[in-house]
Structure 1
């Protein structure tokens, strides 16, 4: 019986953890973010980046470590591999704190100035009741945008960018139990500022005292302190002011008269419930400074403080085109240099092997095999080094193929068999047999030198006696 129970339990676990077909592709299609801080920021800005990751859970890299040696190109390079759609990072110039949002892999880049911020720990320390369990971070927050209406290309771009940071919701398939958090973005057109707030969402039955809500739970409350059940019903609600203070704020503005779907045992379908928000933090006040194409390298589409004339825009466009052409030329020149170095290395290797074959230290077949291995290794590695040297994902132009034949190698070895060049002798000394001969030659030479020194000493002693 024990064995059967274990077997059934194992089978249930297997069925529960079985991967659903197409689930991985759906998860990759959703937007993912990488939030980090660059070098030079303080410890509070680093903590702000960590707090902002919690707001975008679960589709963000929580354990990301961005060291001082890493650059932005490293993050852009790995973004495609891990299906990251946006990069959000903080910088600290000399006068302010900036936040940038980059759409991978080709931009645009939005630069914000952080006017003020409040960390998550400070927000929770001022709250009366904290509702920040780990279960509320299993699903993405509900995005609420207010005030993003009006004329201006930058407002439309702001709306599109913020919507693409979080996955879209399907109202027909939405489960209300998964809506546990909300991310509020409020735009003030008078001050041109954006307020970011992060809340947890909780439903509470309307018109029901705290004692009755506790009875609805599965766990039976402790009634040992009460002599009568009426004392528990009448006194449990007044035992703490926190329950009454939350109910005092309930009204028509946050009440749902008829729930379409039941959310837990305390909020049945068709009942009246009050929506209560608890701030989780962080708080951030933002102001849009600049919008530019590409990843911090394109034309400026919008700037808050600098206005360009049409002539200046044309000049900037032509300058950017010249810069791109120069970059492409440098990339092709670097690829040509890498190819030339690879061919020179192969020629040098071929001459070395020819000398070793001529010295009789290596067979022609073995030399041909070593030469082919060298050519194959160069063909695999040089293309990656050429592309990585320029810091660009574009592939390098194809390299010229070096033709190598064993017959030509055998003919050249036969022609050079009679005369042993100095280069062949030097290469022969590098082989194991040559090294052994060199050691023995050094020993013989040392013994000859000692004999010469002894004979010279004897002659000097004889002259001194005479």
Structure 2
């Protein structure tokens, strides 16, 4: 454990600083204003819904509370109260009933709130089960995803579609094309609006780039040779005990040793080198004689080919002065969601209903509803004002009562002090009178002493006469 100033300092359990734009970071440490979110579930939900909430947090990373813990007694107001402190701008709340599953997207702190009905959803494990070669992109979750909105229309779209488009777009950070780094574009979140039934499909993809212009057979052979070469280099770089051995003539260790070098040897031997014993020439393999061509799922068309302006993640994706195209592919990560917009509220889970998919009202009904909402808001405002006045009045009365008690306490203290001074004066006067009486009594006792002395003389004379 390191020391600082002569004292031990914990570093693994104490956060030294906040990452840029992280939830909970002070405003001074935020380099830019980015939207942040809470993804939570309310009430009793199925285990699959809990997994869906966890995976939606993965989608919203890195600007979300990844390890948020909900409690049954927490309400939406509790999350709203801390959202301003942590800089949280959106709440994604999953709720489940006996009939349906819903998702509420709330804009803090004043709304609006969009309520979606989740018609269908698939988790990440379901998507991976359908893939032949699933990928792991844990490093991709350290950057924000790109947002793609499809079929949401233009200025002629309806008001609820425009609001839905703006809300979904503002849930993720915006991109500055002039300053964005190519290596940060690792994921894509796509929202597709189906105008036939009004549903929104959400998909989550990982972006992958591969060099083009090389046959798949050659790429496979090159990767196998690279694996073998890498393993031989790692084996040949081992320290040998016998200095007389020539470089490259290294004795391979046995695989049963616990040092780990045997595993390397097995990896070299078990490299997936294609079997070419049935061919007379390598050209037959390259031409596709043994399935070395391009598969149907990896067709390289001209639209998917681009020239990388900078280095990108993956083998062979480097910036080159020569013109070389790279193919861009999307690998689905999950989860999948099929959403249907049910209701739009003006406030945060309350307020006037601006849109409802099942309820249609006339202009008079809308006017009456607005009047009712205004009346309710005015009544709430009036009650708050009365409550504030009552609190101020009670506070003033309490202060006046405390001041009166303090005045009475001070008056009693002054009276007690005055009575104490009077008692001291009485005690002093009593002491002076006592001293005078003592002097008089001493004088009387002196006269009687003389009488006693004369009597004693008489007694002495009587004894002598006898």
TM category, shorter: 0.5 to 0.7
Q: Identify the residue that residue 158 of structure 2 maps to in structure 1.
A: 152
1:175 aligns with 2:181: yes
Query: Displacement, 1:341?
Result: 3.5
Following the alignment from structure 1 to structure 2, what is the Cα–Cα distance between the partners of residues 289 and 128?
36
Q: Which residue of 1 aligns with 2:241?
A: none
Tell me by how many angstroms 1:126 deviates: 2.9
**Cα displacement string for residues 238-265 of structure 1 (whole angstroms, at most 9, x for unaligned residues):** xxx9997867423216631432333255
Conservation of the 8 A alpha-carbon contact between 1:203 and 1:267: yes
Question: 1:177/1:231 Cα in 2 relative to 1: closer, same or farther (>3 Å)?
Answer: farther
Give the corresponding residue for 1:111: 115
Which residue is 1:337 aligned to?
390
Q: Would the aligned equivalents of 2:306 and 2:328 in 1 still touch at CA under 8 Å?
A: no
> What residue is the counterpart of 1:76 in the other structure?
80
Residue 256 of structure 1 aligns with which residue?
305
| 2:39–2:56 CA contact under 8 A, matched in 1 | yes
Distance 1:78 1:257, change over 3 A: closer
Q: Using the alignment, how far apart are the partners of 1:20 and 1:281 within structure 2?
A: 26
Matched with 2:131 is 127
**Range 171-180 or range 251-260, more displaced:** 251-260
Structure 2 match to 1:268: 318
Segments of structure 1 that go 5 or more residues without pairing to the other structure are: 1-16, 358-409, 420-466
Question: Which residue matches 1:363?
Answer: none
Deviation of 1:413 (Å): 5.2
Corresponding residue of 2:3: none
CA RMSD of aligned residues (A): 3.7
Residues 182 and 201 of structure 1 are in contact (CA less than 8 Å); yes or no, is this contact kept in structure 2?
yes
Distance 2:142 2:185 in 1: 10
1:140-168 CA deviation, whole Å, 9 max, x = no partner?
Answer: 11111111115211111111111101111
Distance (Å, rounded) in 1 between the aligned partners of 2:352 and 2:103: 19
Contact 1:217 1:266 (8 Å CA) reproduced: no
Alpha-carbon distance change, 253 to 329 in structure 1, aligned in 2, over 3 angstroms: farther
TM-score, normalised with respect to structure 2: 0.66
How far, CA to CA, are the matches of 2:111 and 2:210 in structure 1? Answer: 43
How many angstroms does 1:132 deviate by? 2.5
1:7 aligned partner = none
Trace 1:165-204 onto structure 2 (pairs within 5 A): 165-204=171-210
Q: CA deviation at 1:18?
A: 12
Aligned-pair CA distance for 1:24: 2.8
TM-score, length basis structure 1:
0.66
Q: Distance in 1 between matches of 2:292 and 2:405?
A: 88
- What is the CA–CA distance in structure 2 between the aligned matches of 1:198 and 1:287, rounded to whole Å? 18
1:85 to 1:142, Cα distance in 2 relative to 1, 3 A: same
Q: Which has the higher helix share?
A: 1
**CA distance in structure 1 between the partners assigned to 2:124 and 2:402 by the alignment:** 63
SS of the residue corresponding to residue 220 of structure 1 reads helix
d(CA) in 2 for partners of 1:154, 1:323: 25
Query: For residues 18 and 310 of structure 1, what CA distance do their matches in structure 2 show?
Result: 51
Higher relative contact order by CA 8 Å / sep ≥ 6: 1 or 2?
A: 2
1:9-158 alignment to 2 at 5 Å?
24-27=29-32, 29-149=33-153, 151-158=157-164
Cα shift at 1:200: 1.1
Separation in 1 of the partners of 2:113 and 2:342?
11
